[in-house]
């Protein structure tokens, strides 16, 4: 009979996840990177720096996703919803590892702000989970919608110059759209346009800062 984890057990698990998420190279992908079979294109210094900036943003986005899902898993009321959040976080670990690996290939680094991003996302996720599972799932859907917009914009900028990064972003975009659809299908509420607009504004500010820092 599987052991039922207590709140303290889950909290310890969240701390372990935070350490692995925030330590470059600590997470291994369960699925091979979509870039593994894609030939490396020769990039100019300016193109490489731009790719680094965009992949840093996407890596930080996955750090936020880990914080969000782990926070929601901690406070979700229904065991089924808690399990969905935990599974989604595991799937997002692949994205985190792919972005980390690509940054290393490009001789780039992850954002120095990631610990702050993780903490804020964890807090928001925990609040959303405590507010109720419909709100929690709706927040996931709205967040994944924001991420999908960023990924689409990044692809338009680099798909003609950086084929390896593009392959990663294309698969991430497919996965994020699927997560959004699953969250809504599971009963998540559709957030109002003003809430989405506020989330968009915050997201744009974060991406502009993360591109450089």
Question: Which residues carry a binding-site annotation for Fe cation?
Answer: 62, 92, 95, 144, 176, 179
Distance of alpha carbon 154 from alpha carbon 59, whole angstroms: 13
Distance of alpha carbon 51 from alpha carbon 45, whole angstroms: 10
Distance of alpha carbon 54 from alpha carbon 211, whole angstroms: 6
**Of the candidates 3, 212, 198, 202, the residue with the CA atom closest to the CA atom of residue 121:** 202
> Which residues fall in the annotated binding site?
62, 92, 95, 144, 176, 179
**Contact criterion met (CB below 8 Å) for 49 and 4:** no
Distance of alpha carbon 153 from alpha carbon 176, whole angstroms: 14
Report residue 137: phi and psi, to 5°. Answer: -70, -35
Report residue 98: phi and psi, to 5°. Answer: -65, -45
Half-sphere exposure of 86 (CA within 13 A, CB side): 14
Cβ within 8 Å of residue 56, ≥6 positions away = 103, 108, 109, 110, 111, 210, 211
Half-sphere exposure of 46 (CA within 13 A, CB side): 1
Given the structure tokens 């972005």, which residue do they identify?
99
């Amino acid at each position: 009979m599987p052991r039922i984890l207590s709140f303290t057990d889950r909290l310890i698990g969240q701390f372990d996840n935070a350490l692995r998420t925030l330590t470059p190279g600590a997470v291994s992908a369960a699925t091979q990177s979509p870039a593994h079979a894609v030939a490396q294109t020769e990039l100019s210094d300016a193109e490489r720096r731009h790719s680094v900036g965009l992949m840093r943003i996407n890596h930080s986005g996955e750090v936020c996703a880990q914080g969000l899902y782990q926070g929601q898993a901690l406070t979700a009321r229904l065991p089924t919803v808690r399990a969905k959040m935990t599974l989604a976080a595991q799937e997002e670990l692949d994205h985190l590892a792919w972005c980390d690996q690509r940054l290393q290939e490009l001789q780039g680094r992850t954002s120095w702000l990631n610990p702050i991003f993780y903490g804020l996302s964890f807090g928001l996720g925990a609040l959303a989970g405590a507010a109720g599972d419909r709100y929690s799932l709706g927040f996931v859907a709205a967040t994944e919608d924001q991420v999908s917009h960023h990924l689409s914009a990044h692809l338009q900028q680099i798909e003609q110059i950086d084929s390896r990064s593009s392959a990663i972003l294309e698969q991430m975009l497919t996965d994020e759209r699927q997560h959004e659809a699953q969250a809504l299908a599971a009963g998540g509420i559709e957030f109002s346009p003003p809430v989405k607009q506020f989330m968009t504004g915050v997201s744009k500010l974060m991406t502009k800062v993360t591109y450089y820092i």
